[in-house]
Every structure is written in C-alpha cells, then in structure tokens.
Amino acid sequence: MKVLVIHGPNLHLLGQRETDIYGETTLKEINDQLKQLAEKNKIKLKIVQSNHEGEIVDLIGKSKESDINAILINPAAYTHTSVAIRDAIAAVKIPTVEVHLSNVYAREEFRHTSLVAPVAHGQITGFGVHSYILGLLAILKLIKK
C-alpha cells in the first residue's frame, strides 16, 4: 500500500513560524513520525511539501498512475482558496484525509471554510502533530475496508 502525503505552503517553516499556533515540531519530525507509523503497518509513503498550487494539483492528478491508495493532505492556506486542489481530489476518487495542526475553526473567520473537506473522507484539525498521526490511522482504516 502506498500513501501520498502532501504538505502545503509554508509548512517547511514549521518549528520556526508562529510556534504559538503551530508548535515547535519541525516538518522533518512530523515526517519521521509518519514514517515510523507507516513502517509498522507495512505502508510506503511518498512525502512532498510544496508551496505551489499547480505542483500539488499535478501530484494529486498523477496519483492513480503512481499506484497511490490514499492521500493525506494538509493543504494549509490552499484549504480556503484552491478550487483546483479540491477538483483534483474529487477527480481521482482516492480516499483522502485532510489534516491541520491548528483548530482552523477557532481561528480567523476566513479559515472556517475548507474547499477540500467536502471531497475528503474526513478532516482532522487542532491536534498539532497528532492530527497527522490520526489522519494516517484513519487512512489505514479506510484502506483496510
């Protein structure tokens, strides 16, 4: 089984950026935790971080030909703005879980709308690094069905 993990814009700055909101954990540390969980469950991960909407759309669009079984995505700021990412997820029909480190619904009003959530199987928000772990666990359940 193969899972595509997509980290959206500015997530490469985790651990340095707005630590009061996003915590001090780095993206590398998140990826290491995901890899450990994946290894225990005999899953391969393809992990990508991109600040570019078109690159994210391309990754999602090519996921079927890359034998991807599920997508774990933190679209970051694109959550609230990208119809293109939303449409790519809808088009590939691959189980997708949306995650966010912070509770987007407890933040600014513009963050309360996710364009991705309606086409994802679920959304996990507000648990810091654990949002990613819970997201991967949810994907394991979806894939095993």
Please list the active-site residues: 22, 100
Q: Which residues pair with 97 in a beta bridge?
A: 72, 122
4/15 Cα distance (integer angstroms): 23
Written as six digits, the tokens of 97 are 């879980």
Which residue bears the tokens 């340095």? 16
